[in-house]
Structure 1
Amino acid sequence: MKAIAKQIRLDMQRCSGGTGGYWPGVLLLIAAPLAGVVLKGVLVVTGHNQDGNIDLVSGLVTGFCVAGAAAMQIQLFIEFSSSAARLNGIVPISRDHQVLGRYSAVMLLVLAQCCSLAIYLRIAGGQPWKGSDPWQAATLFTLAIFVLEMLLFALAAPLFYWLEPVKALRALLVLFALIALVGIVLAWLPMDWGTLMTKLGRFLTRDLWKPVTLGLAIVLLANLVSAGVSSRVYARREID
């Protein structure tokens, strides 16, 4: 546990650009929700707090949150790939502890970001789904963002362990294109997607503990599998 905790601190520093502390990285991730609260205050003071403006601010905040998390994770691997910076995580931390610590660090950062996003949604009054319970809507929306970001990390991390950052980004873009192509093909299938989405929506809004438990289980399973793959790829890369 001590080795994993040390790796978490090292990766927090890497996410902050090697500044020597990890708070800059955390502050960067919660900057968008804080800016959204300020913008909401400006809209209220100036009398422009219509639903359309609030929705626009909420969309911008969410977009910057996802983009900020992606940029932070890429920065982590760029710092890790440099010959000087990567040495500070090797001794006395084993390879498996490095990988588990890195996944844990990203999960903590994304969790902090999603918590700040949920607080923003409640303070700013933005509701992802109109007419729904505010707390339930905020929880489900931020849960969806958390699951999305952690699944993307689980998908991308093995590529960054295997390839250099630039090559890994290219491979990731190709992978996203393939996923989009599969989505288009599925959309053409003769299935009643409207009915399926309605049933899914009812399941998600009936009992809050069900989607939360399911989402966290999916994230945990996906990242454990991804961490195992990353550890093997990392070991093979060191041998090569």
Structure 2
Amino acid sequence: MNTTANADAMTAILRQISLDWNRTISYGRSYIAIFFAYVPGFTCLMAATGSTLDSVAGAAIGGAASGFLMLNITLFSYEQMNNHHWMNGIVPINRNHQILGRFAFLIACDLVAGLEVAASIACAGTIMHEPVKVTDAIDFAAMTVLTLVLLNAIVQPFLYRFSPYRAMAAIILSIGVIVGTVIGLRKALPEFEKTVEQLAEAISRHQAIALATFLIIDVLALVFSSKISLHIYGSKDI
């Protein structure tokens, strides 16, 4: 009985992944090409115009994070456009499987984003005649994946609770509050900036520990986010 239930659950999750994939590619090949080309193109352009490798790496991670985060929002927008009738027959069994399938699809996309960032930084390093070590490229890729997983975990309950546009407004407002708080603390407390610098130095010295800690935070965030999303989504009468 449990084996059958597990098989049905896995089938449902795979159906949701297939559904999200079909939604993603439904915008056409040009959209997919632009989506995957803009980060490498932008980072290589920065490298060719004399930017430092650190700034290029930051731009690559930020560009990939923003682009793949928008993909998450696009999936929810698509669901409300009534343009997915042609995908009838692959709808998941229940909302729990739908949420798990959405997270699985996003994590797969996050892994792709990590590879994209690593390749972009490696290409930029070649252009700048500053070869990037394999370990550094892996670190950049891991940081991209972990950052995106955390961002998606934070954003997901907003998207299940509100419309995509209202969710975006709430997310932007939250980011503004956080940034404003950090800026205020830096101005009001000189020790705060020194503490941040010390923390950054500690992370750079112990990258493996930092990544492991980040991974634990991501796992906890995913569990917490999925439970909140299920509670919100399950209470909707749709």
- TM category, shorter: 0.7 to 0.9
Identity of aligned residues (%): 25
Which residue, out of 14, 30, 34, partners 2:36? 30
Provide the rounded CA distance (Å) in 2 between the counterparts of 1:83 and 1:205: 48
1:185-224 pair list within 5 angstroms: 185-190=184-189, 192-224=191-223
Deviation at 1:191, TM superposition (A): 5.5
Matched, 1:236 2:220: no
Find the residue that maps to 1:30 and give its secondary structure: helix
Counterpart amino acid of 1:187? R
- Point out the more displaced range, 176-185 or 58-67: 58-67
Find the residue that maps to 2:237 and give its secondary structure: helix
Matched, 1:162 2:171: no
For these two proteins, the number of residue pairs brought into alignment is 226
Change (3 A) 1:76 1:144: same
- Unpaired segments ≥5 residues, structure 1: 44-48
Note the aligned Cα RMSD (angstroms).
3.5
Provide the rounded CA distance (Å) in 1 between the counterparts of 2:74 and 2:215: 25
Deviation at 1:3, TM superposition (A): 1.7
Find the residue that maps to 1:192 and give its secondary structure: helix
Change (3 A) 1:17 1:167: farther
Provide the rounded CA distance (Å) in 1 between the counterparts of 2:62 and 2:24: 19
Q: Which residue does the alignment assign to 1:106?
A: 106
Question: TM-score with structure 1 length normalisation?
Answer: 0.75
Provide the rounded CA distance (Å) in 1 between the counterparts of 2:30 and 2:220: 30
1:39-118 pair list within 5 angstroms: 39=45, 49=48, 51-52=50-51, 61-83=60-82, 85=84, 88=88, 91-118=91-118
Which whole-Å deviations, capped at 9, do the CAs of 1:82-130 have from their partners, x for residues lacking one?
A: 345388488442211100110111111121011121122123217xxxx
Question: TM-score with structure 2 length normalisation?
Answer: 0.75
Matched, 1:12 2:11: no
Q: Which residue does the alignment assign to 1:147?
A: 146
- Unpaired segments ≥5 residues, structure 2: 1-9
Which whole-Å deviations, capped at 9, do the CAs of 1:132-191 have from their partners, x for residues lacking one?
A: x84444344343333333222222211111122222222222222222233234334536
Provide the rounded CA distance (Å) in 2 between the counterparts of 1:88 and 1:183: 47
Provide the rounded CA distance (Å) in 2 between the counterparts of 1:99 and 1:71: 17
Q: Which residue does the alignment assign to 1:181?
A: 180
Counterpart amino acid of 1:101? G
Q: Which residue does the alignment assign to 2:3?
A: none
